[in-house]
Every structure is written in C-alpha cells, then in structure tokens.
C-alpha cells in the first residue's frame, strides 16, 4: 500500500468516526429546523390575516360574524402551514442538473423524502449517506466543475443513487422481500447503498487529502522560511 493509499484509508476511517458522532445530532437538528420553518410560516400567515382584519375594521365594522371568519381563517392557516412539509424534495430528474456545490444538499433533501419507502436496514444507510453528503458539501464548493472528481461525484450522487432507489420503489411492495437469483430486492438495495456510502466516504477522503497536502506544504514552507530568517 502506498503512502497515498494509507492516507486515504486513515481519512476514511476518521470520516466514519465523525459520521457516527454527527449522525446522532443530525436528526435532532433536522427536526428543529423543520419546526422552525413551520412556525415561521404560521406566524407570517397569521400576521397577514390579522393585518387584513385590522384594515377591514378601519373601512367597516367587522361585527361578530367577521370576527368569527377571522378566527376561522387563523385556525385554517395555522393547520395548513403547520402540516405542510417544511421543504419540498426536488425531483430526482433535476439532481443531474443541480449546481455541483448544491448537489449534496439537494440530494440529501430528496433522500430524506424517500425514507418512508425504504426497509429498516436501508434507512440507516440512507442516514449515513446523508451525513457524508453534509461533510462532502464544503469540499465541493471550491471544486471546479471541469475536474474529473466533479464528474465522478455528480455521476454517483446525482445519478446512480437516485436510480438505485427509484428502481427499488418500482418493485411491488409484496415482492421486495422475495428472493430471486439469490437476493431479494431489499438485500440488493442495501448492498447498493453500502457501496455508494463507501464510495462517498472515499471521495471525501481523497478531496480532503489534497487540502491536507496543501496545508502540510504551506506549513513546511513557513517553517523553512522562518528558520532561514532566524539563521537556525
């Protein structure tokens, strides 16, 4: 094994440990963000209704009937905006055209929406992939779209992952646990997600390796420069 391979392996191992810690807080953070989005929508909608009622009251007395209508509108708006999904998932066909730096977040949103359709072992893998996409996003922000690594990320995250899950969901639910050619669709999905999870971890490690090498080079340069200045 070369030094580069060893460094990538160590980076992948570190990434997996970070993912385990990160996953525990990710679900809570997602629920908090979703609740905050819903509350914000309810507040804006209710404020608009109350403002409209005040303006209406300046023009003409709203009376008891008008007050009841305002109250009913507040109740309906609160229920509707509280129950609507906090953020709609993008269509899988759109993921291939998403800007590279936005691809992890958009794919993660789509993946979250698929969780109810997946068997339990696949749900955990989907969560693992979501964590790794979060960790991958900052590295893609500075990656040139023309780089081979960018095309590899786009193919895996924006095309192969959605196609794998779409293919699984097209199988009738009653047949997903049935074994065919040695494996059930459930098992095939889990195996495919494991491979994608490992590939994303390796991609992240390789991209991070370049940053670590650059940091080491700069650190070495500063060390040599300052030692030369001091005559050490």
Cβ pair 193, 129 in contact under 8 A: yes
What does the pLDDT look like over 21-65, one tens digit per residue? 555 555 556 667 677 777 888 899 889 999 998 988 888 888 888
| Residue 4 confidence (pLDDT) | 45
Indicate if the pLDDT at residue 189 is higher than 70: yes
Return the closest-CA partner of residue 161 out of 116, 88, 99, 109.
Answer: 109
According to the per-residue pLDDT averaged within each range, which of 87-91, 140-144, 154-158 is highest? 154-158
Higher pLDDT, 85 or 16: 85
What does the pLDDT look like over 142-156, one tens digit per residue? 888 888 888 888 889
10 Å Cβ neighbour count for 221? 10
State pTM to two decimals.
0.63
Span 163-179, average pLDDT: 92
| Residue 138 confidence (pLDDT) | 84
Question: What is the band of 8 on the pLDDT scale with cuts at 50, 70, 90?
Answer: very low
Cβ pair 177, 184 in contact under 8 A: yes
Per DSSP, helices labelled H in the chain are 3-59, 63-83, 92-95, 103-114, 120-140, 148-155, 161-169, 185-230
The C-alpha atoms of residue 137 and residue 141 are separated, in whole angstroms, by 7
φ/ψ region of 43 (left if φ > 0, alpha if ψ in -120 to 50, else beta) reads alpha
Residue % of the chain over a pLDDT of 90: 21
Residue % of the chain over a pLDDT of 70: 74
| Residue 163 confidence (pLDDT) | 93
Q: How far is CA 154 from the centre of its chain?
A: 14
| Residue 221 confidence (pLDDT) | 64
């Amino acid at each position: 094994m070369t030094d580069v391979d060893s460094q990538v392996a160590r980076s992948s191992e570190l990434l997996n440990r970070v993912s385990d810690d990160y996953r525990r807080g990710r679900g809570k953070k997602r629920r908090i963000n979703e609740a905050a989005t819903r509350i914000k929508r309810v507040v804006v909608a209710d404020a608009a209704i109350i403002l409209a009622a005040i303006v209406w009251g300046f023009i003409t007395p709203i009376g008891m009937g008008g007050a009841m209508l305002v109250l009913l509108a507040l109740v309906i708006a609160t229920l509707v905006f509280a129950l609507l999904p906090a953020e709609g998932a993008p269509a899988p066909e759109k993921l291939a055209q998403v800007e590279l730096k936005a691809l992890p977040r958009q794919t993660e949103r789509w993946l979250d929406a698929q969780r109810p359709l997946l068997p339990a072992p696949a749900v955990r893998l989907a969560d693992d992939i979501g964590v790794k996409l979060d960790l991958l996003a900052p590295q893609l922000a500075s990656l040139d779209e023309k780089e081979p690594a960018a095309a590899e990320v786009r193919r895996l995250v924006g095309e192969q992952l959605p196609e794998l899950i779409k293919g699984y969901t097209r199988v009738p639910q009653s047949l997903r646990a049935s074994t065919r050619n040695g494996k059930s669709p459930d098992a095939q999905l889990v195996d495919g997600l494991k491979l994608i999870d490992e590939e994303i971890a390796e991609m992240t490690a390789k991209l991070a390796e370049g940053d670590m090498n650059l940091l080491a080079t700069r650190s070495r340069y500063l060390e040599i420069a300052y030692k030369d200045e001091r005559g050490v």
